[in-house]
Each structure stands twice: as C-alpha cells, then as structure tokens.
C-alpha cells in the first residue's frame, strides 16, 4: 500500500512541478521535491523506501526532463544512501531538522554537478545529443539551493507525519 | 567497510544501479519509448489543472506589476496597427501584381511548409537542459535538426527523435545557434541563445544597417530549417563600436516555456 502511495505522490509532484514552475519558474528557483522527499525518507524510515522513491522518481524525472536515464536517478540513489548511512547510522544518533537542511544543500550541489558531468560524458560518447551547460547550472545553482532549503522543513514534517501514520496503521491493523 | 558491502542497503543500491544502467542502454537503443510515452502522459492531468489555475494568477500579477508599461505598449501598438493597415493595402496591391507577373512568366509557385502538429508533453522547468519533449517522433516523420514553431515563430530545434516522442532544444539555450538574417536587407548573422532565456543576433558586420524593431528570420543555410521563418525582433545593441562584430539582443513575443502546442517543419 505504501508503495502505491509513493507512486501517486511522485506523479503528483512531477505534475505540480511541471504545471506550476514551467510557467512560474524564475532563474531556476524551482525546488527538487523528489530529492527532498528521498532525503527525508532516508532519515525518517528504517527501511529502503528511499531507494524505491529515488529509483522510480529519478527514472520519471530523467524522462520528463528529456535527459539520459541516470541523470537524476544516480544522484538521488547516492544521496539517499549516503544521508541514511552517514546521518542516521554513523554520525548522528538523533537527526535534527538542520541535519536535513545540510544534507539538502550538499545533495543539491551534487545533483546539479552530476547532471552536468553525466550529460557531457554521454555526449562525448555520442549517447546524448545536447550536453547540459555548466554555466547554466552555475547560474541557477544558488536559486535551486534556496528553493530546496525553503521547502526542506515542510517536506521533512510531512514525511514524518506520513511515517507516524504508517506506524499507527501497522499497530491497529485489522487481523482477519 | 567489508561489513557494509555485505549489507542489505549495499545490495539494494547495487541492484538499483544495474537497473539504471540497463535503462540507459534501453533508452539509447530506443526500446524504452512506450514506457517513456506513458510516463510523460501520466502527470499531464495534474500539470494541466495546476497550469490552468497558476497561469491566470501569474498573468494577473504580471499585469498589475507592469500596468504603466502596458498602457504605453498599448499606445505604441495602436500606432503600429494604423501603420500596418496602410502597409497591408500596399502589399495586397503588390501581391496582385506579383501573381499576374508570375503567371505571365510561368514562375514556379512558392513552396509551402509541411507542418506536423505536436503537443508539448513537458518543458524543463529548471532551465537545466532547456528542452521540450514533443508528442511526435519517427512515426510522424520527424527528423533531427528540424525546426519547431509556435505562433509562426521559431522556438526550438529537434535534437533527438524516438519512435513516438522527440526532444527539442529551445533556441534561447546557450548551446543553440541558428543562421539568421534581417528580413529588410538580408544582413546575415547568427542567432544564439544566452543565459536567462534571451537570444542575441551575433556575428553581424559592423557596417550593417540594423535598427531596433527589425525582424530577424532564418537564413536557410541549414537544409533542415527553411528560410524566412520568424525568430524575433532586434532589441538593444550589446556590442561596442570597437568590437569586430555587432551583437544585438533579440526578443520573441512567444513565451517559449508556456507553449502547449507546436508545429514541426517537415519540408
């Protein structure tokens, strides 16, 4: 059931991002909501939910952005795994919201840098037609970070509420 | 570290990476087209609803913010309409004369463009790749390098063609360049994209007679993009008199990121 909810949420996030920010977006002031969701899930949930969301969400984003598969998927998988291992298991026993914000800033930089590197690498091998411009990425990077940081906390809270509702649901599961 | 390699997380991560690599190979080979088409169509109902709510709000606030310039623009446009109506009368007369002369001399008629209408499935909102994904591909006869028009203006160039979808690069992207000329005196140059959704008319001779408001059209040097397709109007001069070439901004009335339907020129 949880995974069906994730699929619906990913579809809705992509719909909202492309419906709202394609006409409203200014200088790349567009949040990476899937990235925020992946990192929040990696910090809140014990399981591998973040891997499912990063794989499906990343794959979907690659296609709707017209980018080669792996442009979003690989950094999302990597960021989810790293934030889960470093923040939740190894470095901090208790994750505060500002750890989440720090992870968001690092992940945003990594995501944009990877898109530039990956598209240029595939372009060099004639696997992709137009490489993403580094200048364009740098120009919009600060706005992307601002958009992600502003929405980091609300996304974290929503994911935490979802996790709590899941726990409650598990506890009160009707046994037939 | 060794303990980590044998962990469930690492195994799941490695499997996910293999799936991604497989996906990439399948995408390059064009085997993913049906899935891509389905994934592109799926979020469209949500994005259409959001757009139908967001667009009027955006227009409302933009209009309020620029009310003074709207009034000024209205006056300029009214003056332009009067001037264009006068020109229209002259052009009608010239067209009649031209048709008569062509008939007399048995000239070959003007070639018409073959257009394929496509809907825009998605436009990069983050200005990363500046691409739009279109709902037509090889099945509809689309080829790489073809021109994409909206409201009669060139907005993009096809860069990748799949079976049912194709990807086009917006001409405002910094990596786009189109051979162009001025419609009034055939002054040639190149229209390049620049950061921030703008365009520049570059590599123009310093002696060329170029003024703000001149129309820039395609030059037709590229065989896939026919000549005389409108690109935009010349704006401000960006270069210095000492520069080797003249460089001017080009403005298009089409909001490239808001288009929903386009035409691909198939020739």
Q: Of A14, A39, A31, nearest to A158 (Cα)?
A: A39
Q: How many CB atoms sit inside 10 A of residue B160's CB?
A: 19
Is the confidence at residue B106, as pLDDT, over 80?
Answer: no
Residues of chain B numbered 45-74 and touching chain A (CB < 8 Å): 45-51, 54-55, 58
Q: What is the 3-state secondary structure (H, E, C) of chain A?
A: CHHHHHHHHHHHHHHHHHHHHHHHCCCCCCCCHHHHHHHHHHHHCCCCHHHHHHHHHHHHHHHHCCCCCCCCHHHHHHHHHHHHHHHHHHHCCCCCHHHHHHHHHHHHHHHHHHHHHHHHHHHHCCCCCCCCCHHHHHHHHHHHHHHHHHHHHHHHHHHHHHHHHHHHHHHCCCCC
A172 pLDDT more than 70: no
Enumerate the residues of chain A whose CB falls inside 8 A of the CB of residue B40: 63-64
DSSP 8-state assignment for residue B191: E
Interface list for A 145-164 with B (CB within 8 A):
none
Give the whole-number percent of chain A exceeding pLDDT 70.
89
How far are the Cα atoms of A135, A170, B41, B123 from residue B38, in angstroms, in the given order? 32, 33, 5, 16
Give B197's pLDDT tier (boundaries 50, 70, 90): low
As for the ipTM of the complex, it is: 0.85
Q: Per-residue pLDDT averaged across B17-35, rounded?
A: 92
Distance from CA of A100 to the nearest CA of B (A): 20
Average pLDDT, chain A: 86
Of B12, B28, B50, the CB nearest to A20: B50
What is residue B238's predicted lDDT score, i.e. its pLDDT?
87
Residue range B221-249: mean pLDDT, rounded: 88
Say if the Cβ atoms of B9 and A84 lie within 8 Å: yes
pLDDT at B111 over 60: no
Q: Which of A22, A55, A115 sits opposite B257 (nearest CB)?
A: A22
- For the segment B180-203, the average pLDDT, to the nearest whole number, is 86
Closest partner residue to B19 (CB to CB) among A55, A85, A132 is A55
Q: What is the pTM of this model?
A: 0.83
Residue whose C-alpha is closest to residue B42's, from A80, A74, A59 = A59
Cβ atoms A56, B35 nearer than 8 A: no
Q: Is the distance from CB of A12 to CB of A57 less than 8 angstroms? A: no
A170 interfacial to chain B (CB closer than 8 Å): no
By Cβ distance, the residue of A25, A28, A68 closest to B27 is: A68
Question: Where residue B3 falls among pLDDT bands split at 50, 70, 90?
Answer: low
Closest-CA residue of chain B to A22? B125
CA distance A53 to A3: 9
| Residue B217 pLDDT exceeds 90 | yes
Which tokens is B25 given? 């190979």
Q: pLDDT digits over B137-151, tens only? A: 999 999 999 999 998
Burial of A120: CB neighbours in 10 Å, binned 0-12, 13-18, 19+: middle
Confidence label for A174 from pLDDT (cuts 50, 70 and 90): low
| Nearest in space to B20 (alpha carbons), one of A137, A107, A114 | A114
| Segment A95-133, tens digit of pLDDT | 677 777 888 899 999 999 999 999 999 999 888 888 888
pLDDT of B24: 93
């Amino acid at each position: 059931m949880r995974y069906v909810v994730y699929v619906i949420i990913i579809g809705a996030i992509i719909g909202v991002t492309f419906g709202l920010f394609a006409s409203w977006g200014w200088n790349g002031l567009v949040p990476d909501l899937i990235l925020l969701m992946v990192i929040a899930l990696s910090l809140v949930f014990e399981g591998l939910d973040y891997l499912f969301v990063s794989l499906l969400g990343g794959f979907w984003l690659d296609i709707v952005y017209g980018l080669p598969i792996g442009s979003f998927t690989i950094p999302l998988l990597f960021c989810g795994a790293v934030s889960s291992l470093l923040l939740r298991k190894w470095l901090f026993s208790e994750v505060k919201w500002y750890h989440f914000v720090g992870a968001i800033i690092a992940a945003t930089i990594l995501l944009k840098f990877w898109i530039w590197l990956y598209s240029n690498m595939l372009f060099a091998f004639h696997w992709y037609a137009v490489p993403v411009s580094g200048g364009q990425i740098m120009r919009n990077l600060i706005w992307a970070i601002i958009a992600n940081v502003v929405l980091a906390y609300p996304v974290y809270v929503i994911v935490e509420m979802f996790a709590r509702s899941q726990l409650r649901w598990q506890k009160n599961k009707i046994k037939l | 570290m060794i303990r980590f390699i044998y962990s469930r997380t690492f195994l799941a991560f490695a499997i996910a990476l293999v799936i991604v690599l497989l996906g990439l190979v399948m995408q390059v080979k064009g085997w993913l087209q049906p899935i891509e088409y389905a994934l592109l169509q799926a979020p469209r109902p949500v994005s259409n609803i959001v757009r139908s709510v967001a667009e009027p709000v955006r227009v409302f606030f933009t209009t309020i913010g620029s009310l003074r310039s709207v009034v000024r623009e209205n006056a300029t446009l009214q003056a332009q309409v009067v001037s264009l109506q006068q020109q229209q009368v002259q052009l009608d007369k010239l067209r009649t004369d031209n048709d008569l002369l062509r008939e007399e001399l048995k000239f070959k008629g003007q070639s018409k463009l073959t257009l394929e209408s496509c809907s825009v499935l998605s436009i990069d909102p983050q200005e990363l790749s500046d691409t739009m994904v279109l709902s037509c591909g090889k099945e509809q006869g689309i080829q790489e390098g073809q021109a994409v028009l909206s409201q009669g203006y060139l907005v993009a160039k096809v860069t990748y063609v799949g079976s049912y979808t194709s990807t086009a690069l917006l001409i405002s992207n910094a990596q786009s360049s189109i051979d162009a000329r001025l419609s009034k005196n055939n002054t040639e140059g190149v229209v390049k994209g620049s950061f921030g959704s703008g365009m520049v008319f570059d590599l123009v001779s310093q002696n060329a007679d170029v003024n703000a408001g001149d129309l820039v059209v395609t030059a037709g040097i590229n065989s896939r993009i026919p000549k005389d397709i409108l690109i935009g109007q010349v704006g401000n001069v960006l270069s210095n008199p000492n520069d080797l070439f003249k460089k001017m901004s080009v403005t298009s009335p089409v909001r490239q990121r808001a288009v929903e339907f386009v035409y691909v020129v198939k020739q």
